Structures are given as structure tokens and as C-alpha cells.
Amino acid sequence: MFNTIMIPVDLAHQDRLSKALQCAADLARHYKAKVIYVGVAAATPSSIAHSPEEFKKKMAEFAASQAEMHGIAAEAHAMISHDPATDLDPTLLKAVKETRADLVVMASHIPNLTDYIWPSNGGTIAGHADASVMVVRD
Amino acid sequence: MTDDSENQGIPEPEGEVALIETDYEIGQDNVDGSVGPFGFDIHNPVFMISGLSIVLFVFYTLALPEQSGVVFSWLFTTVTTSFDWFFIGAANIFVLFCFLLIVTPYGRVRLGGADATPDYSYIGWFAMLFAAGMGIGLMFYGVSEPMSHFSSSFGGVAMGEDGVRTDWAPLGGAEGDQVEAVRLGMAATIFHWGLHPWAIYAVVALSLALFSYNKGLPLTIRSAFYPILGERVWGWWGHVIDTLAVFATLFGLATSLGFGATQANAGLNELFGVPTGSTTEVILISAITAVALISVLRGLDGGVKVLSEINMGLAIALLIFVLLVGPTLLLLTGFVDYLVAYVQYLPQLANPLGREDVNFTQGWTAFYWAWWISWSPFVGMFIARVSRGRTVREFVICVLLIPSLVCVLWMSVFGGIAIDQVVSDGYTVAQEAALELKLFKMLDQLPLVQITSLIGIVLVIVFFVTSSDSGSLVIDTITAGGKVDAPVPQRVFWCVFEGAVAIVLLLSAGGLKSLQSMVISTGLPFTVVLLMMCWAIWKGLSTEAH
């Protein structure tokens, strides 16, 4: 049913991703699909990487370790954004197009008061992406 | 991997850079969590110290407006009278340093690595440079400053009983000599808006871009001091530097917001009879801050960039309109004449020692330099964020020379036409009007005044929004230890407090004077920071491939 599963990952908060990562891997095995891990970063240094190149390398390493751990086919796709705090939604939507994913698996928090002002990324992607979207609550 | 030629992901390896090896991890001193539903990720203790001080400052000024007014006025006088030479001398060093960078081989270093490519087109880049750099100032002083210097120069020198000059004329003035008074007035204005401010911005912007894009250090002011302080920059030395930067930025911004509010108010009064006074100004600042909040939520590309481009279009339209309906040839030849006058008077105007025109050097030049310096962390960081992929030489030329020329053009046209109205037509209303009104009184003499005045007000307001928005972005980055992806509610916090500081300072006994005195007092220590930065840039560039 699905060929390419995209999952956005924040390398700085891997602990909050375990359910979504497991879910994506299980689905990938079931549908014999490929998983593409998408990371978004600014060109400025961050706690993850000092430069875009280093970020790209870390993403590739992350994808490789996931592939080995779950026995799935995996790739990394690094995106650069000028302002990741506000640009995340459009950047992820662009990533859906670029990766030609037909399923997006996303971790998301339980909606709270702030979602009226800042809608959750999971909700926005589900509302706008062409692909199917599965939002995994943490 | 997907094919890189067809996606817009991160560019392939970007060539050699000389990363600084440090064990410091960006965000290691940060505290993150949430207050109720609002998440935060802030640097400890920079956020705490600066946030608490600002809150206390706002309450102090509100609680004791009379007393604080006296304190602010004392600060202004003390700092400008004792340190005017220091501001003037330091600014000269920044200009010379920039020219040095253009001509030495270090100019070949590319920000972001040898093969990095720019993210923004020249147009988008320049629009943001101006909107962030001096938008409101150009509107406020475009007519009023050339006019003030022209009038005071024409009036000539006046001596007080104690042998100190009481006039505000630059240098020796040009008593009774109209032609020379115009030249001197324009030269003095261009001096304040030309090379010097942009050199100040260029130094800060370059150091931030170099140390984050090429050296891999966090995007905060302290990173530039790594070559001097080493690992100590992550401790209290760095905390002090970053906190100073936050104060300078906040008060610099609040001053511009104060100018913007008084001018927008004056314009609305002219056009629609809206009452002037602190009530309207408070409402204006609150309303415009609310608009800025929307822009903050839309982020860098969706908010600031779009607004900057709109504003650049409007400003160019207004400039061309004034140029065409005014005495076009006179204004264009004026541009060249005033440039020549600037070059001719520059050595005297920039001389830091033994000046007799104390009112001019202390009230105008020293204030301007402090204002630009206090804006520099803000404009500098903003320029740095949008400048990846340019070489040092391209960067310095673009930040130093092109904006300077545009400012000269702006001042020649707006100041030139206002002075011409006095000289040729005997129309002295603009000359006699208050500073914030001069622009509108000048437009009054031109056709379509309703439309142009409205454009003027819109420009002030949108520049206000872009400044407030990009300012919040910058203060947030500094107080988040260089993280550019901290939760958005923090930007909202800073955006609101910029407005609050502008309001309480306008309400305090001194009004705009209070704002100016805070700018001067925070600009002074930051000048020392900037001087050390020049040395750090030099050391940083020396390890890059060039």
C-alpha cells in the first residue's frame, strides 16, 4: 500500500520520538516500504551540528543506525531552513514533495491550549500534505 | 539518498573552513521546559539577568517618573560631555578597519566555507538591511536633520558667558552664507548616516557571521571573543558581553520605536486631526506591537522579508515622486555637490579632539554613534543571518558603501527639497516645525499631499513593525545561547517588552530624552566590546584559507 514512509526527526529530542520511530519501522516492514528520515536545521551552528555538512552527515548516520536496528531500508534527507522555529511546517511539506513519500509518520504532543495559537506541526501537515499522515501521540 | 540536483536540501560540502575546536555544546547551559502550555528554551543566566533587569527597569520608571527623569537627563549629559571623543574616535577606527578588510587578501574569505552560496538575492538582502538598519531613522531625520544643520550653520557661532558655544552649528558654522550653510548642513547629515554607522554594523555582522558560519560557534555576540578569551567566553565574561548586547539592543530599539510613534502621531494629526500626546502614542505603540507580533509568528521569510520588500518598494516610490515633482535637476546635482562637501568636511567632522562645536558633537554626533552602536548587535546579527555565502570583501562593500550611497541620496533629496523650499520659495513652515513634523510640512508643499503623507505614515509604521519583529528575533537568539530554533513564545515575550520599554520611557518625565539617555549609556560599554571585536575578527580571518 505504501512505498515510501517519511518521518520527521529532531535529533536534539530523540527521546520523544521512540514511539513514532518504532511505528514507522513496523509499518515499513509490513508494507516493505523504504523509510526516509527528514531533519530540519538552520545554517547556523546548533547543538547537533556546527555546519550544514555536519548536520547532513549526522542525519545519514542516524538513518543507517535505524536501518540496522529495525532491519529496514532507510535514507536520510536533510533540509535547511532560515528560521526553523516558524518555517517548520512549509519546510516539512516541501520535504514530503521532495521525498515523494506516500505516508508521513509524525510524533506530536497531546493538543493543549497553545494549539489554538500555534497549531501543532502534525496537525498542519495532516491538513496540507498530499500524502497520508499518521500522527503518533507521545 | 535522493538526488541532490533536484531537491532543495542542504547544499553539498561547502569547502574548507577552519572550525574552532571547543568542547562547548550549543545550548548546554540552556534551561528548557514549559510554563503552563508555553514551552521555553533559554540561556541561563543571560535570559534571567536581562529579562529581570528589564522588568525591574520598567517598574522603576513607571513608579517614579519624576526621579527617573532626572536620573536619565543626568546620564545623558554626563556620558556625552565626558565621552564624546571616545565615541567619535572609535567610530573612525571601525571605518578604517572596514576599508582595511576590503583591500587585504582576507577579503577573499567566504562566509560559510569556500563553496557556500548565498541564500538571498541582492534585492531581498538589501531590503532587509535597510528595514532593519535605519528605516525609522531615515523617515524621522530625512527632512529634519539637514534642515536643523542648515539653520544652525546659517545662524553662525554664538558664545555663552563662560566661553562655551551655545549654538548647535557643526564646526564653525557658515554665518550668513547660504550656499556654504547648505553644504555644511548636508555634509554633517551625511556624516551621521554615511560610512560610520554602516561600518559599525559591518564589524558586528562580520564577526557574528565569521564565528558561526566558519568557526562553528553559537550565533551570539560572545563567540567573537573566542580568539581573545578562549574557553572563558562560555563563562561569566561571555554572560556579561551577551547581557550588554541585549540591553543595548532593547534600548536602541525602544528609542527608534519612540521616534516612530511620535512621528506617526504627528502625521496622523496632520492628516486626520488625531490628537497628539502620550495617550495616542501609547495606543500607537501597543497597536503596532500587536501587528509586529503577527509578523513574529510568521517568521523570518514570511514576516520580516515580505514586509521589508514592501517597504523598500514604497520608500523608492516616495523618493522618486519627491525627486520628480521637486526641482529634479537641482536635487540630482545636489547629490554630487553634497558628496563632495561630505568628503571635504569629513576630516574636520570626524576629528575627535579639541572640538569647539560642543553642542553638535555631544548632542548630535555622540548620540548618533551611541545609537548606531546600540543597534549594532541587532542589525549585525540580522545581517549575519542573511549573509551566508558572501565573501568578506563583497560583504563589506555591500554593507558599507551601497547603503551609505543610498542614505546620501535619500538625504540629498528630502533635505535638499526642504532647504530649497526655504531658500527659493521662502517657505519656512517646515524649518520652524517640530522635528517629527518637518517631513509632513515639506510634503505639504508638493502635489498629492494626502497620498504622500499617508505613504509616509505607512512607511514609519511598517519600519516600526520590521524593527520590532527582527529585534525580537535577535534578542531571543542571544538569550537562548545562540539557538535559532527556540520556542516562539520567547520572541513574543521580547516583542511585548520592547513595546513596554518604549512606552514607559516616553511616559517618564524626560520623554524621548529618557530613551536617548538609555541608548547613550548602554552604547558606551558596548563600544569597548566593538573595539575588541575588530581585533578578534582579524585573528579569526588569519586562520581561514584566503
Does the model's ipTM exceed the 0.90 cut?
A: no
d(CA A96, CA A6): 7
Nearest chain A residue (CA) to B41: A85
Residue in B485, B491, B494, B496 to test binding to A, most A beta-carbons within 10 Å = B485
What DSSP line would sit under B278-297, residue for residue? Answer: HHHHHHHHHHHHHHHHHHHH
pLDDT at B509: 65
Q: What is the pLDDT along chain B (546 residues), one digit of tens a residue?
A: 333 334 344 444 456 666 777 777 777 777 777 766 667 778 878 888 888 888 888 888 878 878 888 888 888 888 888 899 999 999 999 999 999 999 999 888 888 877 777 877 777 777 777 777 667 788 888 899 999 999 999 988 888 888 788 888 998 888 889 899 999 999 999 999 989 999 999 999 999 999 988 888 888 899 989 988 888 888 898 999 999 899 888 888 888 888 888 888 888 898 888 888 888 888 988 998 888 888 888 877 778 888 888 888 899 999 999 999 989 999 999 999 999 999 999 999 999 988 888 889 988 999 889 888 988 888 888 888 778 888 899 889 988 888 888 889 999 999 999 999 998 888 888 888 888 888 889 998 888 888 999 998 898 888 888 888 888 888 888 888 888 777 888 888 888 888 888 888 787 766 777 778 888 888 899 999 999 999 999 998 888 776
d(CA B443, CA B142): 12
pLDDT at B16: 63
d(CA B387, CA B193): 22
Do A105 and A38 meet the contact criterion of CB atoms below 8 Å apart?
A: no
> Would you give the DSSP letter of residue B483?
-
Nearest CB to B301 within list A75, A87, A118? A87
Contacts 24+ apart (CB under 8 A), B265-273: B265/B436, B266/B434, B266/B436, B266/B437, B266/B440, B267/B439, B267/B440, B267/B453, B267/B456, B267/B457, B267/B460, B268/B457, B270/B437, B270/B440, B270/B444, B270/B453, B271/B440, B271/B450, B271/B453, B271/B454, B271/B457
Do B472 and B489 meet the contact criterion of CB atoms below 8 Å apart?
A: no
Tell me how many degrees the CA angle B8-B11-B16 measures, rounded to the nearest 5: 170
- Looking at the complex, does the CB of residue A18 fall below 8 Å from at least one CB of chain B? no
CA distances from B122 to A13, B93, B398 (A): 36, 28, 9
pLDDT at B2: 38
d(CA B327, CA A84): 49
pLDDT at A44: 80
Residue in A3, A15, A36, A44 to test binding to B, most B beta-carbons within 10 Å = A44
CA distances from B141 to A131, B9, B92, B340, B428 (A): 54, 44, 22, 21, 17
Residues B299, A42: C-beta atoms closer than 8 Å: no
Cβ neighbors of B369 (< 8 A, separation 6 or more) are: B87, B88, B90, B91, B196, B200, B523, B527
Q: Residues of A numbered 26-55 whose beta carbons fall under 8 angstroms of chain B's beta carbons: which are they?
A: 36, 41-47, 50-53, 55
Residues A77, B26: C-beta atoms closer than 8 Å: no
CATH number, residue A119 = 3.40.50.620
Q: What is the pLDDT of residues A66-119, one digit of tens each?
A: 999 999 999 999 988 878 877 888 889 999 999 999 999 988 876 666 666 666
Domains identified in chain A, total number:
1
d(CA B324, CA B50): 48
d(CA B322, CA B439): 12
Q: What is the pLDDT of residues A21-75, one digit of tens each?
A: 999 999 999 999 999 999 988 878 887 788 888 889 999 999 999 999 999 999 9
Residues B301, A85: C-beta atoms closer than 8 Å: no
Strand B30-35, strand A74-80: pairing: unpaired
Report the side by side order of strands in the sheet with A4-8.
A74-80, A34-41, A4-8, A103-108, A132-137
Contacts A34 to B, Cβ<8 Å: none
How would you write B28-54 as a 3-class SS string? CCEEEEEECCEEEEEECCHHHHHHHHH
Task: Name the nearest CA neighbour of B123 among B406, B341, B533.
Answer: B406
The radius of gyration of chain B from alpha carbons, rounded to an integer in Å, stands at 23
CB pairs under 8 A between A and B: 117
How would you write B238-269 as a 3-class SS string? HHHHHHHHHHHHHHHHHHHHHHHHHHHHHHHH
Do B114 and B16 meet the contact criterion of CB atoms below 8 Å apart?
A: yes
pLDDT at A116: 65
Phi, psi of B22 (to 5 degrees): -145, 150
Residue ranges covered by each domain of chain B: 60-92+120-196+252-390+402-526
Q: What percent of chain A clears pLDDT 70, i.e. is strictly above it?
A: 93
Peptide bond into B352 cis (omega under 30): no
Do B518 and B82 meet the contact criterion of CB atoms below 8 Å apart?
A: no
Instruction: Please tell me the pTM assigned to this model.
Output: 0.85
Distance from CA of A85 to the nearest CA of B (A): 5
Dihedral sign, Cα of residue B400, residue B404, residue B406, residue B407: positive
Per the structure, the complete domain to which residue A9 belongs is given by 4-137
pLDDT at B212: 87
Nearest CB to B217 within list A45, A47, A99? A45
Contacts A117 to B, Cβ<8 Å: 297
